[in-house]
């Protein structure tokens, strides 16, 4: 009998060939950077290619993108920007050729960007700003192109409505994911502006990075918080600069507007989203900062010349080189921290020590180590370390059901069953349908030779989540221990239907048939088990 925890980080459920998936992410990121260069080169048609190159290099090296590339799940962010940039390129092609045929691949690209990630919808207001800033076009032409992109947006919204039952979905966002759901009115606005300032700081100075910023790494603040006033001042300053530079510095005003518009969806000012802070959410908005930095370096190096001349732009290139080296160094060190979950979570409890989830996930990873190792002393070491991290997680947020259930699992591993049940009961008091903890209660009872008492818990866990393999296999083990081998075989087969790649369930069926004196069936299932794991049963 084994128990598993609910898996929340996609790196926990990475595919077997994770290397291939990571290679695809890196390849797509490189393609994204290339399309960014092509878009900038086409948009700034009266400038030289050095400007587009500077901006693209800064974007490619920026450490804030590490999570998007390193986390397999975040390939949606890359694809969304990739197709979004393609759409913007086709918009410029349409404007330059005055041929609406270019708009067709643009609309298709935009739809693909939307189905990759809904944040691509914010590129619609970017289109008229881009055309009015860098092309001599009529308002009619701008209107036609912009309205055209409403069609794929409408199609996407219809699909989204059918898939989740609404535009925003019906599930409530828990406070653990977004602290802003706990407040309303002015407090929510003040805190959202404060968090927006933290986003800007993180984008400009990514000294410390973390995969999570949940309770209490970022908290609700009031009017007296310095970050609120700095955030308000930042927003007002950016708005003023857009107004001031609209005609004299179109590149800078466009960069600021690009950031403000693409970030607006994630600011929680207009609509609450599923999180209050995430580095991945800066992937598209970061283009705005990269344009500003690249333009300032390019402009300083160009001086009074018509085009940028590398031979006379030593200072500009030196600053660019320093910036790229600093960003690349941070990106490389951060990428190394994404090596595996233990490395990542160990680093992030230092970067985000007040986040309940960083401690929880490190504790969960340590629990998994305790399950995997065979040496008893090693097991005790890992379980005790897990308990320390999980207790820290619960101290930060006492109603964290997953952390309470994980604590129960750690004490279960130490065979301190009374202590395990204390935390299991606390978890189930908060969430009676927490199916992993319900399964763990059954495991504790099974471990105490109380198979008949354990069976209802395993059945309840499987009833809540029919795709949870462990309680089905645990039911098989219960009935096998009770020598009800036919019933055991039935439940092991259910477990195999849920997860056909887990060899022990095939092996347990083989043992059950062996106990029924059916050698042919026993040999058959043993052979199936060894197709998955050749060492099993040896």
- Tens of pLDDT along 55-69? 999 999 999 999 999
User: Average pLDDT, stretch 451-469?
Assistant: 95
Q: Above 90 in pLDDT, residue 163?
A: no
User: Average pLDDT, stretch 384-398?
Assistant: 96
HSE of 332, CA atoms in CB hemisphere, 13 A:
6
Q: Above 60 in pLDDT, residue 2?
A: no
Q: Within 15-134, where are the H helices?
A: 18-43, 49-61, 66-70, 75-97, 103-116, 123-134
Place of tokens 């950077």: 33
The whole-number pLDDT of residue 17 equals: 59
Q: Which of 129-143, 429-443, 515-529 has the lowest mean pLDDT?
A: 129-143
Q: Within 338-399, where are the H helices?
A: 341-351, 356-372, 376-396
Alpha-carbon distance of 132 to 253, in angstroms, equals 12
Alpha-carbon distance of 463 to 361, in angstroms, equals 26
The whole-number pLDDT of residue 495 equals: 95
The whole-number pLDDT of residue 1 equals: 42
Q: Above 60 in pLDDT, residue 14?
A: no
The whole-number pLDDT of residue 8 equals: 29
Percent of the chain with pLDDT over 70: 96
User: Average pLDDT, stretch 507-534?
Assistant: 94
Q: Above 60 in pLDDT, residue 6?
A: no
pLDDT tier for residue 48 given thresholds of 50, 70 and 90: confident
Q: Above 50 in pLDDT, residue 4?
A: no
Instruction: Render pLDDT for 103-119 as a digit per residue (tens, 0 to 9).
Output: 999 999 999 999 999 99
Q: Which of 47-56, 77-86, 358-367 has the lowest mean pLDDT?
A: 47-56
The whole-number pLDDT of residue 11 equals: 32
Q: What is the pTM of this model?
A: 0.88
Q: Above 50 in pLDDT, residue 70?
A: yes
Q: Above 50 in pLDDT, residue 3?
A: no
The whole-number pLDDT of residue 9 equals: 28
The dihedral through the CA atoms of 189, 194, 197, 202 has a sign that is negative
The whole-number pLDDT of residue 13 equals: 38
């Amino acid at each position: 009998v084994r128990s598993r925890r609910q898996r929340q980080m996609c790196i926990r459920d990475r595919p077997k060939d994770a290397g291939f998936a990571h290679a695809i992410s890196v390849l797509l990121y490189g393609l994204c950077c290339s399309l960014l260069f092509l878009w900038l080169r086409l948009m700034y048609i009266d400038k030289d290619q050095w400007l587009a190159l500077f901006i693209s290099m800064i974007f490619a090296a920026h450490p804030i993108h590490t999570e998007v590339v390193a986390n397999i799940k975040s390939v949606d962010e890359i694809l969304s920007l990739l197709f979004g940039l393609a759409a913007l390129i086709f918009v410029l092609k349409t404007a330059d050729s005055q041929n609406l045929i270019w708009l067709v691949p643009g609309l298709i690209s935009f739809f693909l960007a939307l189905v990759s990630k809904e944040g691509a919808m914010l590129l619609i207001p970017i289109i008229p700003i881009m055309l009015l800033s860098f092309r001599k076009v009529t308002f009619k032409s701008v209107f036609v192109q912009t309205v055209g992109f409403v069609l794929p947006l409408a199609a996407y919204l219809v699909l989204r409505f059918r898939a989740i039952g609404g535009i925003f979905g019906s599930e409530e966002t828990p406070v653990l994911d977004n602290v802003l759901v706990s407040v309303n009115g002015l407090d929510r606005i003040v805190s959202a502006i404060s968090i927006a300032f933290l986003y800007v700081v993180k984008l400009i100075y990514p000294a410390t990075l973390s995969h999570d910023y949940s309770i209490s790494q970022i908290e609700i603040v009031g009017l007296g918080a310095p970050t609120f006033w700095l955030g308000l001042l930042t927003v007002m300053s950016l708005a003023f600069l857009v107004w001031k530079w609209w005609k004299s510095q179109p590149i800078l005003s466009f960069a600021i507007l690009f950031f403000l518009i693409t970030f607006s969806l994630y600011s929680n000012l207009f609509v609450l989203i599923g999180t209050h802070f995430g580095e991945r959410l800066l992937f598209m908005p970061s283009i705005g900062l990269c344009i500003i930095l690249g333009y300032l370096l390019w402009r300083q190096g160009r001086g009074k010349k018509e085009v940028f001349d590398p031979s006379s732009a030593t200072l500009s290139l030196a600053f660019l080189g320093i910036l790229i080296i600093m960003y690349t160094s941070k990106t490389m060190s951060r990428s190394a921290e994404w090596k595996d979950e233990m490395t990542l979570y160990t680093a992030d409890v230092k970067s985000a020590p007040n986040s309940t989830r960083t401690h929880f996930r490190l504790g969960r990873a340590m629990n998994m180590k305790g399950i995997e190792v065979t040496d008893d002393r090693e097991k005790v070491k890992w379980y005790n370390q897990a308990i320390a991290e999980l207790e820290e997680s619960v101290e930060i947020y006492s109603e964290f059901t997953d952390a309470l259930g994980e604590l129960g699992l750690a004490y279960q591993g130490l065979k301190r069953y009374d202590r395990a049940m204390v935390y299991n009961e606390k978890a189930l008091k908060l969430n009676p349908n927490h199916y992993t903890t319900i399964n763990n209660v059954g495991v504790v009872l099974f471990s105490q030779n109380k198979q008949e008492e354990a069976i209802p818990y395993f059945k309840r866990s499987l009833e809540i989540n029919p795709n949870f393999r462990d309680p089905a296999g645990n039911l098989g083990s219960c009935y096998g221990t009770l020598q009800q081998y036919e019933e055991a075989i039935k439940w092991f087969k259910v477990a195999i239907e849920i997860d056909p790649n887990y060899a022990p369930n095939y092996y347990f069926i083989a043992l059950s048939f062996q106990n029924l004196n059916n050698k042919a069936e026993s040999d058959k299932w043993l052979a199936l088990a060894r197709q998955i794991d050749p060492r099993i049963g040896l």
